[in-house]
């Protein structure tokens, strides 16, 4: 792997869209950031960078596997200069008593040699705050938020000191808001006190961005931290304030024109995406796939490709599998929920692969799982994060892709305004 110089901040994210969210936050703070899909292969060429976010899918897998994958990512990041590594988790602390936050934190802490690690999922900009160790989602405690009904990891306890202690081998303490508000020296003193008593981790309260700046400044003196994009913001600001990194405002990322045909794919069935498809009908040809035909075999993806190939020369096209909730429920009851989801994701990946083979170099994708399936299929090893299309959705410039220069936008379902598809294409030249 070639890096023009060593990175300052290494991050390991436990899912793809969380990784994009963090990479976007770091970029907006002024760090030149690449998001990689998995641990980069030896020959991946990367531009000059400040931060790398390695995206894993380790949030809900078996804890031992999450630990080994996270350790491999940490080893790669340290090997490329990262003095500090952030283990990026969900801002709603998605996990179970079996993990994976605690086991991964324990392993990375042992590898880093730190005696104590700061942990906070707070991200005030998105309504995630922590007070007295309790996580609030908007105005309600975590255990009263919709996360109490999450299908994989229902969160029934908002006290993160308790939640993390159940998953970790170490004692978990608290750095309360009173210490955070008094500034870095008070936080250092509290951590030294906890560490002296044998605590290996501390949940840090944070209610405002300035709290994250205090936490970031102290965390940067350690080798490991755990948290969501909020602590990423704190670390980025601390790196810039320390002078270790120069803001990318003075060295803008490449905006070289990629050109070539452009296409949009929608696999999300969210209300926002359905509205965005309706709006796109006014400005580009739209093909609605027949989900029942997708369940029947590969023919529907081939039909879509033939349809697109005849039109790509005239401008962007949109291919959508999206249906209304009633139609989705009916299809799922006939074929099973997982089977339908998987088959449609793979059909979208087939279409994307065919489009790229036909010369498409600018691709907008709506749907988190859909994006994951497409990116995996295209074998794109990483992305340089660029301009923001809508809150949390940046333009991504592929790095090290076999097909050369490519621009992508990956949107999770509910993101973006009504004109999202044309807004994205406007910025993806």
Residues engaged in binding ligand ADP (CB under 6 A): 267-270, 291, 321-323, 328, 331, 340-341, 344-345, 367-370, 412-413
Between 47 and 341, name the residue whose CB sits nearer to ligand ADP. Answer: 341
Residue nearest to ligand ADP (CB): 413
The minimum distance between CB 109 and ligand ADP, in angstroms, equals: 32
Residue 216's closest CA among 131, 118, 125, 127?
Answer: 118
> Taking the complex as a whole, how short is the minimal distance between the CB of residue 14 and ligand ADP, in angstroms?
16
Token reading at 393 = 């959705």
Q: Which is nearer to ligand ADP, 27 or 412 (CB)?
A: 412
Structure tokens at 270: 């969210």
Closer to ligand ADP by CB, 107 or 349: give it.
349
Report which of 209, 101, 235 is spatially closest to residue 164, judged by C-alpha positions: 101
The DSSP secondary structure of 164-177, one letter per residue, reads: HHHH-SSEEEEE-H
Nearer to ligand ADP, 214 or 268 (CB): 268
CB of 347 to ligand ADP, least distance (A): 8
Q: What residues does 411 pair with on adjacent strands?
A: 366
Contact 288, 90 (CB under 8 A): no
Q: Which two tokens stand for residue 418?
A: 């009504």
CB of 331 to ligand ADP, least distance (A): 5
Minimum distance from residue 411 beta carbon to ligand ADP (Å): 8
Cβ closest to ligand ADP, residue 236 vs residue 289 = 289
CB proximity list for 282: less than 8 A, separation 6 or greater: none
Nearer to ligand ADP, 100 or 270 (CB): 270
CA 282 to chain CA centroid, nearest Å: 31
Q: Is the peptide bond before 397 cis (omega within 30 degrees of 0)?
A: no
To ligand ADP, the closest distance from the beta carbon of 15 in angstroms equals 11
DSSP-derived secondary structure for 328-349:
HHHHHHHH-HHHHHHHHHHHHH
Query: For 80, how many CA atoms within 13 A lie in the half-sphere containing its CB?
Result: 30
Task: CB nearer to ligand ADP: give 217 or 331.
Answer: 331
The candidate with the shortest Cα–Cα distance to 81, out of 245, 246, 229, is 245
| Three-state DSSP class for residue 264 | strand
CA dist., res. 50 & res. 27, Å (int): 10
Under a CB-based contact definition with an 8 Å cutoff, are residues 268 and 364 in contact?
no
- Nearest distance, CB of residue 18 and ligand ADP, angstroms: 13
Here the tokens at position 369 are 């799982």
Minimum Å distance from CB 319 to ligand ADP?
11
Which of residues 314 and 339 has its CB atom nearest to ligand ADP in the complex?
339
Could you give the CA distance from residue 123 to residue 43 in angstroms, rounded to a whole number? 35
Query: Smaller CB distance to ligand ADP: residue 160 or 344?
Result: 344
> Can you tell me the distance from the alpha carbon of 57 to that of 403, in angstroms, rounded to the nearest whole number?
24
Give min distance, CB of 413 to ligand ADP, in A. 2
Nearer CB in complex with ligand ADP: 40/368: 368
> Based on the number of CB atoms within 10 Å of its own CB, is 239 exposed (0-12), middle (13-18) or buried (19 or more)?
buried
CB of 287 to ligand ADP, least distance (A): 13
| β pairing state of 117-120 and 224-227 | parallel
Which of 2, 418 has the CB closer to ligand ADP? 418
What are the residues facing 410 on neighbouring strands?
Answer: 365
Q: Which tokens hold the place of 372?
A: 């994951």
């Amino acid at each position: 792997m070639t890096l023009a110089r060593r990175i300052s901040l290494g991050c390991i994210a436990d899912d793809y869209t969380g990784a994009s969210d963090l990479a976007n936050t770091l970029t907006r703070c002024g760090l030149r950031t690449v998001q990689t899909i998995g641990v980069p292969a030896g020959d991946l060429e990367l531009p000059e960078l400040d931060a790398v976010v390695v995206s894993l899918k380790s949030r809900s897998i078996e804890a031992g596997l999450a630990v080994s994958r996270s350790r491999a990512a940490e080893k790669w990041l340290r090997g490329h200069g990262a003095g500090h590594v952030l283990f990026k988790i969900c801002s709603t602390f998605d996990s179970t008593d079996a993990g994976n936050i605690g086991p991964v934190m324990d392993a990375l802490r042992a590898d880093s040699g730190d005696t104590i690690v700061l942990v906070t999922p707070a991200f005030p900009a998105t309504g995630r705050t922590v007070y007295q160790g309790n996580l609030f989602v908007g105005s309600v405690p975590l255990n009263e938020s919709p996360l109490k009904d999450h299908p994989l990891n229902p969160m029934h306890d908002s006290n993160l000191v308790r939640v993390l202690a159940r998953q970790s081998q170490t004692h978990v303490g608290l750095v309360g808001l009173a210490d955070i508000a008094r500034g870095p020296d008070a936080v250092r003193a509290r951590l030294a006190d906890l560490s002296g008593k044998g605590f290996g981790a501390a949940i840090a309260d944070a209610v405002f961005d300035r709290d994250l700046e205090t936490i970031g400044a102290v965390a940067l003196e350690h080798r490991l931290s755990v948290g969501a994009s909020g602590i990423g913001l704190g670390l980025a600001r601390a790196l810039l304030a320390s002078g270790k990194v120069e803001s990318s405002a003075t060295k803008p990322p490449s905006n070289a024109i990629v050109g070539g045909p452009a296409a949009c794919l929608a696999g999300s069935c969210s209300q926002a995406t359905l509205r965005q498809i309706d709006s796109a009908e006014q400005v580009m040809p739209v093909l609605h796939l027949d989900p029942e035909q997708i369940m029947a075999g590969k023919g529907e993806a081939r039909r879509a490709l033939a349809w697109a190939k005849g039109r790509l020369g005239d401008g962007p096209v949109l291919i959508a599998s999206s249906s209304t909730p009633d139609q989705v429920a009916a299809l799922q009851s006939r074929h099973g929920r997982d089977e339908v989801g998987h088959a449609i994701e793979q059909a979208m990946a087939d279409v994307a692969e065919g489009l790229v083979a036909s010369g498409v170099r600018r691709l907008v994708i709506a749907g988190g799982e859909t994006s994951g399936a497409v990116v995996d299929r295209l074998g794109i090893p990483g992305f340089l994060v660029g301009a923001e299309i809508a809150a949390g959705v940046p333009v991504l410039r592929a790095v090290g892709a076999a097909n050369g220069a490519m621009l992508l936008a990956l949107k999770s379902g509910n993101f973006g305004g009504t004109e999202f598809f044309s807004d994205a294409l406007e910025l993806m030249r």
